[in-house]
Structure 1
Amino acid sequence: MTTPALAPSPAPANDRSPLAERIVDTLIHRIGKDERAARKHDWLEATILTLRDEIIDKWMASTRAAHAAQAKRVYYLSLEFLIGRLLRDALSNLGRNNEVGRALASLGIDLVEIEEIEPDAALGNGGLGRLAACFMESLATLDLPAYGYGIRYVNGMFRQRLDDGWQVELPENWLSHGNPWEFERRESAYFIGFGGEVTGNDTGIVHWKPAEAIEAIAYDTPVVGWRGKRVNTLRLWSARAFDPIHLDAFNAGDHIGALAGQARAESLVRVLYPNDSNASGQELRLRQEYFFSSASIQDIVRRHVQYFGDVRTLADKAAIQLNDTHPAVSVAELMRLLIDQHDLGFDEAWEVTRKTFGYTNHTLLPEALESWPLPLFERLLPRHMQLVYAINAKVLRQARKAPGVDDAAISAISLIDEGGERRVRMANLAFVGSHSVNGVAALHTDLMKQTVFADLHRLYPDRINNKTNGITPRRWLMECNPRLTALIRDAIGPEFCDNTALIKGLESFADDSSFQERLAEVKRSNKVALAKYIKDSMGLRLDPDALFDVQIKRIHEYKRQLLNIIETVALYDQIRSHPERDWTPRVKLFAGKAASSYHNAKLIIKLANDVARRINGDPLVGGLLKVVFIPNYNVSLAERIIPAADLSEQISTAGMEASGTGNMKFALNGALTIGTLDGANIEIKDRVGDDNIFIFGLDADEVAAKRANGYAPREVIEGSRELSQAVNAIASGVFSPDDPQRYKGLVDGLYGGDWFMVAADFDAYAAAQRRVDARWADQPAWRASAVRNVANVGWFSSDRTISEYARDIWGVM
């Protein structure tokens, strides 16, 4: 379906600004459209290209300055970069919103309308990718030369549709009409090999002859820092076959087979996180990770040799940060390049490698600490398998000499898991191959030392450090919540825009009734806007005066959307049973995607939608409780929801959420947190104060003790009237009359073990929700807490986080 033509009412040509004329010139000469025939997407592209021309000048100046200073560069390797829409981000950071808005208005075009049709780049899944995007923006803001490296996914994370409440995964075709922000770099192309064999001779020279070769092609996107001070580069890799078509096969009639090589290459960049529940999915995932890691490391080494000559000085001029375990194979790849192509000895290459890499761990979940079946790894990457064995031998020999290291510790330290199927442990490879290993919240870092890396920590006691995550206040306050930004500016002045720590000055207004009223007006206007979006897109009417209770994030059992849903069912029962009570009108908002192979997560999405259908259709509670699951959660949707939230649900099982960044975004936008003592919730609590956050439930030590000492969830469920009634209602098919057995597996999981402590924390969670009701009933107290949240979370800026990385790990500040 084509977009209908706009009906602009342009200003006379002689009344247009020079910027408006440049936009029209771009429209005509680079897009080939007359302004009378142009559609919204044409104006969008013309605006981006016009702005991009200005950005290029700053981009090149930044690059020249780094070369002239012979500056050390930061290289951030991440399988995800959840960058979202870029036009509004660039306009805001350059301070050009008003100017561009006026120029387009003189052409009869609404800037907001065309911003809304920019595709949301589908390059990530959740917090990991959004963190990487925040970090790239802060690196530019702090004037630090940096490259981000990732994959230019054609479809990326799937587009989520809900069919009768079931998640359906569809391709996210964000590149279907091209990407006006990017530049193809044909000169930056690299040979990526797979399989084959490794041979050696008497002199020790090793040669890897891959059986398959793919070409990695670079696409660069400029990343603009605040005030346009610096523009850095996000380099994403696309793949193509060296022989995209075998003409002999094509001419012989094998038209499909002739294109198999290109199809195989394109599969590497087709989607983010292919389903790895089967052998072919696992192989594709490993191929993806090596493909982008190899291209990135080759590019970094090539650039260093070009500008500095001696590869031995790599660590002096390059700091490579591994964002989780996905790029961990980079350690072996750098060793391969240094030894096989640059003739360094093993020990010298290892010293260069270890000094160059830093590794950020983002999870304690065993399934996320990637490991690969040894036969698969060796078949795809035979030379790297040799190097992994050699690295392992070096590390284990060192460990044997350390005091107190027994066979159990050796087994835990080893890069090869010998328990059952032999597997290559990528987290261990990243750990031993880096000079710095950091967690992303204080609790997470402590648990790393005590659990997954306990033996490695004893062997390398100075390696683990903490760098609590942060968010960019430009996107997550100034852009997504301009009304609140203006209110803060009026109260404390504009300086906080350049130094987020200064937002602390807002605390003096917490008990100011006039300021509270203005804050309430801002929040309500944001809620009205979100309610309109939901009405237009889903047909559901919401009361903006109700409490907006929000849980938006990746759907996973440890994040405990199930706990929220069960408490919603219990609340529904209580409202119906006690209509005489003064209930707080509440809207429960959910959004998030489940991994395509994650059965229970997809079932939780269906349960949320079944519960929503039943509750929203019940006239007895219609004015008191609504439940909404908004489909296709992405950055742009988060930018709508977060400014409108009153309550932020951060209710993960304690000890399982590394940090979280959604908790920071909500607090910065004036939402109060209900949460466990997990991840960065602890540090948020310390800063906003115990009275301005709703903490409940077991802490990490108590969770561990329950698991270790025997936990009987059946007794807990049967001992809680509200919990047992809600669970029984779900299990009996009250919310799934078409399939009464639909949720039997979910409920059996609660009775049978309750690994995620849903039942164990239910009563405490329900009690915390009633404390929320009481605070909401006292609106001055609620608003005061909201102000104190905004004022005290400036520390969670990604500028602060990146400053700590730069000073403590990378040595660039």
Structure 2
Amino acid sequence: MFSNKEKFKAAFLRKLESMYGKSFQESTPRDHYHTLGNMVREYISANWIATNERNRAADEKQVYYLSIEFLLGRLLGSNLLNLGIQEVVEEGLKELGLDFSAIEEIEADAGLGNGGLGRLAACFLDSLASLDLPGHGCGIRYKHGLFDQKFVDGYQVELPEQWLRHGNVWEVRKPDQAVEINFWGKVESYIEDGKEKFRHAKGEAITAVPYDMPVVGYQTDTVNMLRLWSAEPAPFPTNKDIMQYKRDTEAVSEFLYPDDTHDEGKILRLKQQYFLVAASIGSIIRSYRKKNGSLIDFHKKVTIHINDTHPVLAIPELMRILLDEENMSWEQAWEITSHTISYTNHTTLSEALEKWPTNIFQPLLPRIYMIVEEINERFCADLWKKYPGQWSRIEDMAILAHGLVKMAHLAVVGSFSVNGVAKIHTEILKNREMRLFYEAFPDKFNNKTNGITHRRWLLKANPQLTSLIQDTIGHGWMKDTTQLRQLDVYANDSAFLEKLDQVKRERKQILGERIRKQTGIVIDSDSIFDVQVKRLHAYKRQLLNVFHIMYLYNRLKEDSSFDIHPRTFIFGAKASPGYYYAKRVIKLINSLADKVNNDPAINGRLKVIFLENYRVSLAEDIFPAADVSEQISTASKEASGTGNMKFMMNGALTIGTLDGANIEIKEEVGEENMFIFGLTAEQVLNYYQNGGYRSSEYYHHDKRIQQVLEQLINGFFPDVDDHFEPIHDSLLMQNDEYFVLKDFASYIDAQERVDAAYRNRNHWLRMSAKNIAHSGFFSSDRTIRQYANEIWGLEPSYSKR
């Protein structure tokens, strides 16, 4: 039905009429979307079935990627691209009088993730399928995502993200493969064949029902699977209050990241984590048993990868099954478990390393807690043999200590591989955050620098740049991004640079039109598009960006001779609902936007745009249009970043600290093709360790800093009362934890270099071309090949084309 546009049109009309029982003339855009989506899913089905059969028949290892988030974005366009049928569909629809882009707009972004963790998982699934690797995702089918963000008087307001309101055309419900999961209750011991055994009794059962989504590889017949679990009442619940039981059960897959300020929310989050791993491992083992029977060689055929600590309960859950259901000895079960689980750490922030109070953990998961206790006791006994008398070391490394279960410790102890996500991040883990574990298990630790799928972030998001690259160096880079290096020689080709300039101008106009429709603000396409889009967090330092804008505004107001190239500052970010400091920064950005955008004296030389509800589909318009990529986190705090890679691949130039993958971007493209500023990670860590930083000194010695800080509290922003006082106090009274004031002067200097470089248009375009040429290293295909070869021991299962 997709072999040519005539067959497609006929099939489309037949399908629409059979699905909706009405004529094409009566149909709506939503009818068109669902019709097309169902056609594409049917088209995928044959390869999906064949891939599953091939994986069952092959005696090769498979990986299951467990993640609390999968930030997929829209799937219609990417599936058409990967299947190679986009052109046929677009032309066929056009002849029917339909606009594909309008149909694509009907699709909701899947509300299955929040930020970098979930987007990385989505990129990895794309690469696994495109490289013909047998790898599948396991997550939760959240009824509502994080939230839909609205601005009311400049304040963030959270609304339910109802992405499933009209169904999900890509999913297939599989109730016959449901898994029963138990919470609460108690553990009973009994003797069988002279051996003490344990069972979880009188628990509260819920049913995990899988919804499977196809993951389509690019120009290959491989279709892997993302299995998402929905929490539903068990057929025969023991709870007497049936309505309360139903509400409690459905809450498990209701929201991504429920508020855990209070114990009720903590319990729900822990429930979600165990729900994900118990359902996934139950399903994995059921599938494995069908073919192999015994689990004795399970670790030789299966790797379970945990994306951060959220799924770390996979370790005691696999132990539970091997001990209680397979009757293995502890030693045998531990050998299999600790050679099955691999773990990616995503943070250097100590406060972000999960810890669960035992008074919440033990009643909710009584058998799992027993197993964690035993893992901890045996681990501490082994440490005692290795480090006799070193009580403080053992205390610091314990999994259970001071009434807390330390999830990162459990992850390291129970896995065979621990990886960071950028070179500097891994070194900080080894030398600081997890130094004691690295000293004990140096062979476990390795680095896998993050990557992004160029299929979504270049081929799909930026067809104009894709066409230019294709016309310049051919098609080979689409399968092998290292071939983008061939563009190096065109960085001095004036004809190529002129075309690159035209592409960027077109993409800026596209984003400008979207901004006009969304906000009513008209922006200058000839201005510098300076963009910071990422989760709003103090360490990511949106505040530093804001202070630079305030400084420019002050200069323009005070000095009529001050000359800058017009600049449009674009923000996109959500703040967690309970993160009140971050929400004040959002209000500050919006208040500044109101002031700057409505001041006739500025004459359009500055504009500030904060786009509501930042998400993947919006990002696909932002990245191709950006001139400047703001990667300004406090050095040592950002594990990697992946937005930096998306900007680079689309020709934006980085202004950034030497943090996360910025360092490797510098290694690839050269410091002369980006704008580095600020403290190094070593300097930051030295301040944290030895003290010596006094933010007040920078306040008293830099009039620019004095001015912007005073403007937070002196009425410069009308109608906000004392709303920005906590920001002011965090920088002076609390000594500026993230060194915003320390790095301010260096940041201003770097921004002046940006302004000067942009005025020399050919020079800027050469730098842009160099960034695109050297971005191939940051493909998630490279990252996944490294995971497959160096951690998982995975081989490609099949490649037809």
CA distance in 2, matches of 1:390, 1:211: 21
Once superposed, what is the RMSD of the aligned Cα atoms?
1.4
CA distance in 1, matches of 2:62, 2:577: 37
Choose which of 484, 490, 506 in structure 1 pairs with 2:471. 490
CA-CA distance at 1:727 after TM superposition:
1.1
Q: Does 1:591 align with 2:572?
A: yes
Contact 2:71 2:115 in 1 (8 A): yes
Q: Does 1:219 align with 2:211?
A: yes
CA-CA distance at 1:105 after TM superposition:
1.7
Aligned to 1:151: 140
Aligned to 1:640: 621
Choose which of 782, 790, 793 in structure 2 pairs with 1:800. 782
CA distance in 2, matches of 1:625, 1:577: 15
Segment of structure 1 superposing worse, 753-762 or 409-418: 409-418
Contact 2:458 2:466 in 1 (8 A): yes
CA-CA distance at 1:304 after TM superposition:
1.1
Choose which of 394, 406, 411 in structure 2 pairs with 1:410. 394
Task: After TM superposition, list the pairs within 5 Å mapping 1:396-545 onto structure 2.
Answer: 396-403=380-387, 406-418=390-402, 422-545=403-526
Contact 1:322 1:360 in 2 (8 A): yes
Aligned to 1:108: 97
Secondary structure of the structure 2 residue equivalent to 1:229: coil
Aligned to 2:221: 229
Compared CA separation, residues 404 and 457, structure 1 to 2 (3 A): farther
Q: Does 1:622 align with 2:603?
A: yes
Compared CA separation, residues 651 and 94, structure 1 to 2 (3 A): same
Aligned to 2:660: 679
Q: Kindly provide the amino acid, as one letter, of the partner of residue 118 in structure 1.
A: E
Q: Kindly provide the amino acid, as one letter, of the partner of residue 702 in structure 2.
A: S
Segment of structure 1 superposing worse, 202-211 or 551-560: 202-211
Aligned to 1:25: 14
Aligned to 2:799: none
Deviations 1:351-395 (A, max 9, x none): 100000000000111232111001100010011111011101111
Aligned to 1:78: 67
Segment of structure 1 superposing worse, 376-385 or 101-110: 101-110
Deviations 1:112-135 (A, max 9, x none): 110111111011000000000000
CA distance in 2, matches of 1:533, 1:168: 22
Task: After TM superposition, list the pairs within 5 Å mapping 1:288-299 onto structure 2.
Answer: 288-299=272-283
Secondary structure of the structure 2 residue equivalent to 1:537: helix
Aligned to 2:682: 701
Secondary structure of the structure 2 residue equivalent to 1:218: strand
Choose which of 230, 244, 262 in structure 2 pairs with 1:278. 262
Contact 1:199 1:208 in 2 (8 A): yes
Secondary structure of the structure 2 residue equivalent to 1:217: strand
Aligned to 1:361: 345
Aligned to 1:773: 755
CA-CA distance at 1:210 after TM superposition:
4.3
Q: Does 1:259 align with 2:234?
A: no
Q: Does 1:138 align with 2:121?
A: no
Secondary structure of the structure 2 residue equivalent to 1:355: coil
CA-CA distance at 1:228 after TM superposition:
3.4
Choose which of 733, 736, 754 in structure 1 pairs with 2:736. 754
CA-CA distance at 1:30 after TM superposition:
2.5
CA-CA distance at 1:201 after TM superposition:
2.4
CA-CA distance at 1:102 after TM superposition:
1.5
Amino-acid identity (%) = 45
Choose which of 26, 29, 54 in structure 2 pairs with 1:40. 29
CA-CA distance at 1:404 after TM superposition:
7.4
Deviations 1:158-185 (A, max 9, x none): 0000111111111111101111110001
Deviations 1:437-482 (A, max 9, x none): 0000000000001222111111111111000000000000000000
Compared CA separation, residues 544 and 383, structure 1 to 2 (3 A): same
Contact 1:167 1:602 in 2 (8 A): yes
Compared CA separation, residues 715 and 185, structure 1 to 2 (3 A): same
Aligned to 1:180: 169
CA distance in 2, matches of 1:158, 1:645: 26
CA distance in 2, matches of 1:705, 1:166: 37
Q: Kindly provide the amino acid, as one letter, of the partner of residue 811 in structure 1.
A: G
Secondary structure of the structure 2 residue equivalent to 1:216: strand
Q: Which runs of 5+ in 2 are unaligned?
A: 796-801
Secondary structure of the structure 1 residue equivalent to 2:178: strand
CA distance in 2, matches of 1:316, 1:211: 33
Segment of structure 1 superposing worse, 689-698 or 618-627: 618-627
CA distance in 2, matches of 1:390, 1:489: 58
CA-CA distance at 1:34 after TM superposition:
1.9
Aligned to 1:347: 331
Q: Kindly provide the amino acid, as one letter, of the partner of residue 680 in structure 1.
A: A
CA-CA distance at 1:269 after TM superposition:
0.8
CA-CA distance at 1:16 after TM superposition:
6.8
Q: Which runs of 5+ in 1 are unaligned?
A: 1-14, 250-256
CA distance in 2, matches of 1:733, 1:298: 59
CA-CA distance at 1:56 after TM superposition:
0.5
Aligned to 1:391: 375
CA distance in 1, matches of 2:334, 2:285: 15
Compared CA separation, residues 245 and 542, structure 1 to 2 (3 A): farther
Q: Does 1:204 align with 2:191?
A: no
CA distance in 1, matches of 2:286, 2:57: 18
Aligned to 1:65: 54
Aligned to 1:129: 118
CA-CA distance at 1:209 after TM superposition:
1.1
Aligned to 2:798: none
Q: Kindly provide the amino acid, as one letter, of the partner of residue 217 in structure 1.
A: V
CA-CA distance at 1:417 after TM superposition:
2.9
Secondary structure of the structure 2 residue equivalent to 1:312: coil
CA distance in 1, matches of 2:5, 2:70: 38
Compared CA separation, residues 808 and 16, structure 1 to 2 (3 A): closer
Q: Kindly provide the amino acid, as one letter, of the partner of residue 119 in structure 2.
A: R
Aligned to 1:790: 772
Q: Kindly provide the amino acid, as one letter, of the partner of residue 351 in structure 2.
A: E
CA distance in 2, matches of 1:439, 1:713: 31
User: Taking structure 1 as the reference length, what is the TM-score of the superposition?
Assistant: 0.95
Choose which of 638, 648, 651 in structure 1 pairs with 2:632. 651
CA-CA distance at 1:403 after TM superposition:
4.3
Q: Does 1:330 align with 2:314?
A: yes
Secondary structure of the structure 1 residue equivalent to 2:219: helix
Segment of structure 1 superposing worse, 205-214 or 563-572: 205-214
CA-CA distance at 1:69 after TM superposition:
1.6
CA distance in 1, matches of 2:154, 2:550: 17
